[in-house]
Amino acid sequence: MSQESQHGKWTLSDSDEDNIIPPTPPKKPNSEEKAAPQMGSEARQAAHLNQSNPVKYENSSSPAVKRKRETDEGGWNLSSSDDEAPSSAPKVKPRQSRSSPQKKIENKRPPSPHGPAYYKEEPSGFFEDNLSAMSDTYRFYLNKVTGIEKKYNTGALHIKVLFSQFNYCFDIPWMVKQYPPEFRDKPVTIVHGEKRESKARLIQQAQPYSHIRFCQAKLDIAFGTHHTKMMLLWYEEGFRVIILTSNMIQADWYQKTQGLWMSPMYPRLPEGSPETAGESRTHFKHDLLEYLRAYRAPELAEWIERIKEHNLSETRIYLIGSTPGRFQGPDMEKWGHLKLRKLLSEHTCPVQNAEQWPVIGQFSSIGSMGLDKTKWLAAEFQRTLTTLGKASSSSSPGTSVLLVYPSVDNVRTSLEGYPAGGSLPYSIQTAQKQLWLHSYFHRWKAEVTGRSSAMPHIKTYMRASPDFSQLAWFLVTSANLSKAAWGALEKNNTQMMIRSYELGVLYLPSAFVTKRYSFTVSEYSNGPRLGSSAHFKSLLECK
């Protein structure tokens, strides 16, 4: 349905031409039914279509849920790491007339649902930031958001001071324009997981740019995605790693809430240094190299060799990655939520009344987790999230798990209006099969950072004290709430299966201050950074 508003003319759509609505009371689910696969792309890779069905919602506090429409047309592909199983019944394709012509691959990038005139040019001062003057302790930043008060953008970063290689989706012409003109012909390697028509569109976009080459991420397990968002930036004086939650498209950097971690500048090691030189206490160098090797891509061999030659010893965060595969034995703890559990067990300490310290999860997409909470969320995943020290050997059923996900009203009143729901995929087919999840939900609210109306594409997980003044740990990541992203145990817990590539960074107090079991959450001051804990404070207001 096309509508006029202060945001211009826009059309509600997504990869399945869904409408954003809360779930209606479903029929009793059949235990043998399986949800249809929901694979799409935050890249919005197919042109949106006008819709005849109006938006419906019964309660504005309900989570933003999408209803699948019966259509063969592709809308804006909406991504996530969802791992909804395919239907067990074989799919019957409609017979096509022999005389009907085949559709040609559309090489032109689809338009924005906001319309071509939606994005406005910001003054040059909007993008300027003195990186050397920013906090170098935690190195966590939010993105700049167009349309909020200037004070809330103080200390936030824009893509114009950052550049990307690994990501889920790309608008290559827009990305190239974010470089200063004198650097727009520097070599760029893009690591992606696109296939078939979407891959053809991506390659077509890059044709005018001879300095861009591609690396195809292997996706060997069905319904997996290359969801990692990372930059490896090379300078004359060294290199830098940036791990973030934004795609390389303009919409993700305009009026959404995003987060990123930016490493220090890593200098070169003396010539002839061993690979183990320049390691940090968090084993970041080892874990980064292991993650890159997991791609099994010759195109990344040069990067791996160059990273070996640099000193990464100043890194204070831990790397949490996911790579597709089925893992057994010690390899089970290399990736996904078992890697997080291992680190929380080895590098955190038990606290008094730990069951009163809630776990907070905040994300932009939700996958299929089973007919009840014991299938995954309240079982293996909650055991991971509630781990504090080696004494945490089992799940803590008394620990509250608070899940922050925008409601329909959050989306309706956002800076983008209903089109913001295009980046919050949660199909109604899945929602109707896990109504139990709604008791976990809390609305999005970010008053401290002025981002209540900037819908979150950021994904964060944390463990907070009962009064929300302390954090036992904090994680910013590309991983949404899904088994595809975090992994699921199989074969009587002897095997971990992961479908997607993901990457995030874990903050533990022990890596920053000796003999401390928590970070202190302070009020917003001097910009939205981890040091001021502004994002934490915003999430803790979501109750």
Pick out the residues of the known binding site for substrate.
229, 459
Structure tokens at 113: 């649902």
537: Cα within 13 Å, side-chain hemisphere: 19
Distance of CA 263 to the CA centre of its chain: 18
Distance of CA 197 to the CA centre of its chain: 23
Distance CA 369, CA 482 (A): 7
DSSP secondary structure letters along 21-60: EPPPPPPPPPTT--PPP----TT--S-----SSPP--S-T
Distance CA 221, CA 78 (A): 19
Q: Look up 457 and say whether it is catalytic.
A: yes
Q: Which residue is catalytic, options 7, 158, 310, 457?
A: 457
Q: Which are the contacts of 93, defined by CB distance < 8 A and separation ≥ 6?
A: none
Q: From 244, 474, 467, select the one nearest 360 (Cα to Cα).
A: 474
Q: Side by side, which strands form the sheet with 238-244? A: 140-142, 259-262, 238-244, 230-235
How far are the Cα atoms of 240, 267, 458 from residue 131, in angstroms, in the given order? 13, 17, 21
Query: Is residue 146 within 8 Å of residue 255, measured between CB atoms?
Result: yes
Query: Is residue 484 within 8 Å of residue 367, measured between CB atoms?
Result: yes
Element (H, E) at 347: helix 336-347
CB atoms within 10 A of CB 308: 17
Query: Is residue 73 within 8 Å of residue 436, measured between CB atoms?
Result: no
Query: Is residue 190 within 8 Å of residue 216, measured between CB atoms?
Result: no
CB atoms within 10 A of CB 79: 25
Q: Which residue is catalytic, options 227, 310, 337, 535?
A: 227
Q: Is 379 left (phi over 0), alpha (psi -120 to 50) or beta?
A: alpha
Give the amino acid at 535: H
Say if strands 325-328 and 495-498 run parallel, antiparallel, or are unpaired: antiparallel
Element (H, E) at 260: strand 259-262
DSSP secondary structure letters along 328-369: EGGGGGSSHHHHHHHHHHHH----TTGGGS-EEEE-S-B---
Structure tokens at 458: 């950021």
Distance CA 225, CA 15 (A): 15
Distance CA 121, CA 133 (A): 26
Query: Is residue 48 within 8 Å of residue 113, measured between CB atoms?
Result: yes
Distance CA 48, CA 516 (A): 51
Q: What angle do helix axes 301-308 and 284-293 make, rounded to 10 degrees?
A: 170
Q: Look up 286 and say whether it is catalytic.
A: no
Q: From 147, 54, 61, 59, select the one nearest 406 (Cα to Cα).
A: 61
Residues designated catalytic? 227, 457
